[in-house]
A and B are shown apart, each in its own frame.
Chain A
């Protein structure tokens, strides 16, 4: 238990220190050291408890309750202050509603309910702790170098607000640890709200008009989710008399009818946090933030809190049809729609954002299916998505600072200009969309679990979504792979802290892919067995090993095999007289020099955002409204 407490409190202390440190060198040391401590501590926690079923700690404290209430009020105060400053009525109103509701709840209802086991962990929490502790703190280290460049690009005399930035990053980590370890739903809710407000501040960090607008969009959507969370707490106490998350889930599984509304509300909270349609716009808007923020939000924190909640609820979805249908359909449609819309994007960060939302959609859909096989797939999707996405964000961030653009079209020749970085980026991309890498293995398991259930709708969605996924990743991968003669290598000026984090992610990714059968056997399977009592691995271990051997082969080719060819070099065919093969220029029929250019396909007229987004948002709103209506009426089709 000391370990859990340490993981939650230590980042807070670090954050407090960082908030006052203004010296670059001191900050470097503190961040690297504490990130190392957090990483080692979380790995130690996982290693010592590998394969553990649920472990509960008897811990309840009135002080913590009071602190939570105080934090709740503080959060509301911060939001209301910003809402007043920027005249955003909606955000202010929602914050007021939420704080009033939660105060009424905590003072009036929660008082009599005692949660004996305040902290706990199981294999899923351990996996999440690993993701937060290793990937999250890796991103914090990366941010050191990135934010130096960032400050460098700021106008002369701009205030150095990096202390705030780093403090927020570490508070974020602490809140995430709290979410995955707290069994007391009030504590969990407080941590949930901390992540909301932290990401609000991080998104609005640059204080441009766009950033402020997007930050408010984020806070409005997530406050709606937060209110749903409070509603769930009310029902949980009144109808079920408990605030323990595990007891809540167990009771909901036994008696789905009584838990219908709280489960739907919690699922809704998860959907908002996981940026599922119709709430996908907040995550897209979050792209204005500095890249480490995006990496943190996308890979290891924030959105992962949303899917963590949904995966936790998966056993309930198996027996409770209304929320299950809502989660499944919203997830599936989000996956399909966002994969389509990603095709039309040329901004690398937007492609990443759409791909994140799409993959979260897939995880959401898997959680909604709720069978052991589906949860197995969802867990792997969480793990691989976290690693691969953080790797990609870090690579894009570094590339952006060195080539001056985050447009995919400008990444032409990256393989030459930044050979190592391009390889890491290619590795990350491959992991996202192609077998035998992790994401595809998880998708494979998803297909198996869906087909065993006979879930036709999701199967069709998956088939088309995967095809779209291939399109937008493959064309990016292709752009990266271009090679010409000897352009200038601009890679030498990359910060060491950035390299450190990028390499860490890449190594994690390869290790996780190659050792996938072990990850399944020792981390994912124990959780499935603990929750369902049966195994969930839908793919035979032999086939998993075939995949991991293939991964090893591809990685070896990528890092050792490329660039060894010794054949005679010839010019590119230009259908004319080549002027410069590397620059793709040729002498045209008027004896002038022309440049040949080739742009990727974005197919605006078929997959354009403006065309598709309203439809997807509309469908998802209808689904969610219908689910809530059915829940309140109390109809559970399972009982009909």
Chain B
């Protein structure tokens, strides 16, 4: 049963998430442009970009990079599928980490000095946000009594009421996960903030298109995590969750446009401190 729903969920997610993620990315660029006093590109610009990349010549520095990227894409889809089909939240977290690992290995495999710097930083980013993400899954269990995301529909009050500290902590690391400034160390969407193109330096044409699609899916999944805090037994709560998700996304864009990139030390230490404080305090509040 779980397996079947996860499979169906994965297939649906692989179709729907890129569409939503693409619109979100377009929204990001339009809103960012408006915040900078520009008109900005059309909403569908990310879609045009990816279609163009797919049309480009297929070239790479080695024979394995694209395979790794396809794996990253596939496991991101599996992760999303598990999450949105009401599956196990921990498994979802592990799968998206697997996807990140393939992305990192793809960059390493090129042996490009610039891509490698990006890969190092990406690894560091994973290490920075991983404690908070795991604590988020654990806190979710404490709030709902199950790791299955479907269990939120049995709640009388949204999970955020009891684990609001963890929610704040997750918001903090979300900036890293969404690759937003000030924590966009491994690759930046802003021109001239990056040493060449960070982790994606050697990924080009169709491979880069797959990377973009993976990121769209990831973004949808991460916003799903945010929404999870605001859903309970009442069906209307889904609307509330969607509103919160949009709000959080706009907040991230706001942060993105207002902060310069920080050094890795600050990212690591602050993210771990936030995880430690938010996680511990919230657990203590829950248990006692």
Residue of B nearest to A459 (CB): B138
B130 and A562 within 8 A (CB): no
A568 and B126 within 8 A (CB): no
Does A71 reach chain B (CB closer than 8 Å)?
no
CB neighbours of A434 from chain B (8 A): 94, 97-98, 101
Does A65 reach chain B (CB closer than 8 Å)?
no
A572 and B1 within 8 A (CB): no
Residue of B nearest to A479 (CB): B108
Q: Which of B61, B108, B279: most chain A Cβ within 10 A? A: B108
B88 and A543 within 8 A (CB): yes
Does B176 reach chain A (CB closer than 8 Å)?
no
Q: A436-B94, A470-B127 are in contact. Are A483 and B62 (CB under 8 A)?
A: yes
Does B12 reach chain A (CB closer than 8 Å)?
no
Say which residue of A466, A478, A479 sits within 8 Å of B130 (CB atoms).
A466
Q: Nearest-CB distance from B277 to chain A (Å)?
A: 11
Does B3 reach chain A (CB closer than 8 Å)?
yes
B196 and A600 within 8 A (CB): no
Does A639 reach chain B (CB closer than 8 Å)?
no
Say which residue of A451, A550, A553 sits within 8 Å of B142 (CB atoms).
A451
Q: Which of B58, B65, B91: most chain A Cβ within 10 A? A: B91
Within 8 A of A (CB), among B62-77: 62-68, 71, 74-75
B91 and A435 within 8 A (CB): yes
B contact residues, range: 35 or more
A573 and B196 within 8 A (CB): yes
Does B187 reach chain A (CB closer than 8 Å)?
no
B67 and A564 within 8 A (CB): yes
Q: Nearest-CB distance from B109 to chain A (Å)?
A: 4
A contact residues, range: 35 or more
Q: Nearest-CB distance from B138 to chain A (Å)?
A: 5
Give complex CA distance A31, B132 in Å: 50
Q: A447-B90, A540-B2 are in contact. Are A478 and B123 (CB under 8 A)?
A: yes
CB neighbours of B114 from chain A (8 A): 573, 575
Q: A435-B95, A573-B202 are in contact. Are A557 and B108 (CB under 8 A)?
A: no
Report the stretch among B45-53, B229-237, B241-249, B280-288 that lies at the interface: B280-288
CB neighbours of A570 from chain B (8 A): 59-61
Q: Which of B109, B110, B116: most chain A Cβ within 10 A? A: B116
Q: List 30 A-B contacts (CB under 8 A).
A: A415-B109, A444-B91, A447-B134, A448-B90, A459-B135, A459-B138, A460-B283, A463-B131, A463-B132, A464-B272, A464-B275, A470-B97, A470-B130, A477-B101, A477-B108, A478-B109, A481-B68, A550-B98, A553-B74, A561-B67, A564-B67, A567-B59, A572-B110, A572-B202, A573-B196, A573-B202, A574-B112, A584-B111, A597-B113, A606-B268
Chain B positions within 8 Å of A, measured between CB atoms, are 1-3, 6, 57-68, 71, 74-75, 78, 82, 87-88, 90-91, 94-95, 97-98, 101, 104-105, 107-114, 116-117, 119-120, 123-124, 126-128, 130-132, 134-135, 137-138, 141-142, 147, 196, 201-202, 265, 268, 272, 275-276, 279-280, 283-284, 287
Top 10 A-B pairs, shortest CB-CB distance: A478-B108, A435-B94, A542-B2, A467-B130, A565-B63, A596-B113, A567-B58, A598-B116, A463-B134, A483-B62
